[in-house]
Amino acid sequence: MNTKIVCPVCDRAAIEVDTCPNCQTDLSLIRMLSELPLIVSTTPDFSWLKWSIGILLTAILVGWEIWVH
């Protein structure tokens, strides 16, 4: 299952092989790079951010309660 990439040299689209069929440019490195963000984007880790916001909001609410009462 190969990702379809665009040749950066001649702009040929939907290339599924490691060499551009139009200008014979080696696309293995470009393919590797193009597939990297895909792996990262499938596993977004924002749980730490949610936790941070949650803890921060709780701290503000608790602090407010103590301040008011």
The footprint of Zn ion (CB under 5 A) covers: 7, 9-10, 12, 20, 22-23, 25
Query: Phi/psi zone of residue 11: left (φ > 0), alpha (ψ -120 to 50 degrees), beta?
Result: left
Q: How far is the CB of 21 from Zn ion (least distance, A)?
A: 8
Q: How far is the CB of 61 from Zn ion (least distance, A)?
A: 58
Q: How far is the CB of 11 from Zn ion (least distance, A)?
A: 7
Q: Which is nearer to Zn ion, 22 or 58 (CB)?
A: 22
8-state DSSP, 30: H
State how far Cα 41 lies from the chain centre.
3
Q: Which is nearer to Zn ion, 22 or 52 (CB)?
A: 22
13, 4 Cβ separation under 8 angstroms: yes
